[in-house]
Amino acid sequence: MADGQLDLVEHFVNSLHMHEGREDEEQFGSPEALHAWLAERELISAGEQVTEGDLRRALDVREGLRALALANNGVGLDAAAVARLDRAASRAGMRFQATDGSPRLEPDAGGVDGALATLLGVVATAVAEGSWERFKACPRDCCQWAFYDKSKNRSARWCDMGSCGNVEKARAYRERRKTHRAP
């Protein structure tokens, strides 16, 4: 789990659970499913409408955040995914709010755009606080699970050493042995 509010972003990115050898699990398979997820987390009201366009923008934000998390883990940046994130974010305006003496970024829109602005505000805060670089995604193509790197030296590479880490270390070991045995 991520630290603080990044936990919300982690759950958002992990709304697509990829699997090796079987069908992926997509939590946002319809506008209604996205609405339910956002409403459960009080990011939109129960009466808000969610359209196909809202769903596409939410998926663009999710995959753009995944691309950034992969880049935090040393994977090349997916420029197309980040460009779609940037386009979706342009509709999710934020404003500076300090009326209660506690400065913060607040959504400047309602509905799904406001919910996306809230998520992006969490990311902006994490960047400012220096914790964003710890938000990573597993580099295995069949996984890409987002996680918060809690290691002391910020060097965690895999979402879980018991699964992805072991699989990749065993694969690398077999490759080294195969190369070593080759004439």
**pLDDT for residue 169:** 59
Confidence of residue 73 (pLDDT cuts 50, 70, 90): very high
pLDDT > 70? residue 171: no
| CATH number, domain with residue 28 | 1.10.3300
Confidence of residue 1 (pLDDT cuts 50, 70, 90): low
Domains held by the chain: number? 1
**pLDDT for residue 62:** 98
Question: Where in the sequence is the domain holding 58, given as residue range(s)?
Answer: 6-181
pLDDT > 60? residue 167: no
pLDDT in tens, 9-52: 999 999 999 877 678 799 999 999 999 999 999 999 999 999 99
Confidence of residue 181 (pLDDT cuts 50, 70, 90): low
State pTM to two decimals: 0.85
Between residues 95 and 170, the one the model is more confident about: 95
Q: Is 79 contained in some domain? A: yes
Between residues 49 and 152, the one the model is more confident about: 49
Q: Is 1 contained in some domain? A: no
DSSP, res 18: -
Contact of 25 with 33, CB cutoff 8 Å: no
**pLDDT for residue 170:** 58
What backbone phi and psi angles, to 5 degrees, belong to 34? -65, -45
**pLDDT for residue 24:** 79
3-state SS class at 5: coil
**pLDDT for residue 156:** 79
Q: How many residues are there in the chain?
A: 183
Overall average pLDDT of the 69-89 stretch:
96
- Dihedral sign (CA 9, 11, 12, 14): positive
Q: What are the helix and strand counts (H, E) for the chain?
A: 6, 6
**pLDDT for residue 2:** 60
Overall average pLDDT of the 56-62 stretch:
98
Contact of 76 with 94, CB cutoff 8 Å: no
Q: Residues with Cβ < 8 Å from 85, sequence gap 6 or more? A: 60, 61, 63, 64, 65, 67, 68
pLDDT > 60? residue 88: yes
Overall average pLDDT of the 119-136 stretch:
94
Confidence of residue 149 (pLDDT cuts 50, 70, 90): very high
